[in-house]
Amino acid sequence: MNCPKCDADIGDSYEPDDRSVGIRGGWYCDGCDVAIGEDEALREPVAGDVEIMSAREFRGDRPLGTPLSELSSLNRISMEVLMPPHSVSADGATAEPSEVMPPAVSPHEPSETADFTWNIGMKRADLLTVAPSGHYLAPVLLTTAALALSGVGIAINGWFARSLGSSDLAGWLFLAVGVAADLAALVLPSTAAGLWHTGQRATALVGWVIWFVTFAFAVTAGIGFASTNIADVTLLRASRVTPAVTSAQAMLSDAMTARDRECKGGVGKFCREREALVAERRQLLDAAMTSVEQAADPQTDAAIKLVAWISRGMMRPAPEDFAMLRLILLAALPQIGGMLLLIRRRLLTTGGGCF
């Protein structure tokens, strides 16, 4: 089997009918993005083929049927036997047809499931009704996720780009650049893939290069947005004054007051003891503040403990390792909307969008 456009061999791409989802059997050409059904394929004549002709060609000039006057008596008797009893009167005359109209036949209403008409000659089923909307849930979900992620990415990049401007005008110009780059990163993958399948390879390559540039720009802006906000929140949490910090500060203040009182007249035994106590209390305050700083990012601490528990202590990443992984994910995820649209396009063109 060859493609009618590019004449490529597509015999290996044959898929049979799948009536459960309403897909016809046939072949598919990846290069031309063309589907060929079984009824559209040109077939070579084989032994046993019967020539198709119309009824007029078959009967020629012969009239359709046999006139009543030419019927034999035997045929007349058989017709009378086949006629219903109420159509013949007592004297043998044929009764007039009843004026009672036969019950109206309502047209067939397709059910919610697939209705099929069978073509005996081709031995295949043609789907009459549209497949239920639930069969196309996967493309709808992919489209929704792509648009949602792209909306978030546009908002993030626009906000961060505007924050780089030294004036209002510069900020708005940066915002326009960020929004335009995100929109290009959203639509370029599907567009470039379509150009590639239609044979416009050079234009498709240019599209992929432009997408890479816009994707890198968007990811960079996402890194700036995520790092700025995470740092602000972490610093705010680390500057909290907890009861432990308050107690340590009070103990240090008392120790410093006692030291000043003892050392006022000169350095002696008790003055050196007070100096040692002040150093000890300062270490307690530093430990309390370090504990608050560590609790400022509980996600990192919990992730490190989880990895160590899963690996049974063989792996224990540093806090900076998880912080970098989180930063990459927060910056890259809002920019994959274009790839989701590309996957959706592939599902629809190959008929694999059923869910």
Whether 154 and 194 map to the same domain: the answer is yes
Whether 275 and 214 map to the same domain: the answer is no
- How distant, in Å, are the alpha carbons of 66, 95, 300 from that of 98? 26, 8, 90
Is the pLDDT reported for residue 336 higher than 70? yes
Q: Encode pLDDT of 108-156 as tens digits.
A: 444 444 343 334 333 333 433 444 444 568 888 888 998 999 899 899 8
Mean pLDDT of the chain: 75
Q: Which domain holds residue 264?
A: 241-295
Whether 175 and 191 map to the same domain: the answer is yes
Whether 29 and 149 map to the same domain: the answer is no
Q: Encode pLDDT of 200-219 as tens digits.
A: 999 999 999 999 999 999 99
Whether 224 and 278 map to the same domain: the answer is no
| Residue 59: predicted pLDDT | 67
| Residue of 142, 135, 89 whose CA lies nearest to 112 | 135
SS3 state at 177: helix
Whether 229 and 158 map to the same domain: the answer is yes
Helix/strand number for the chain, H first, E second: 10, 4
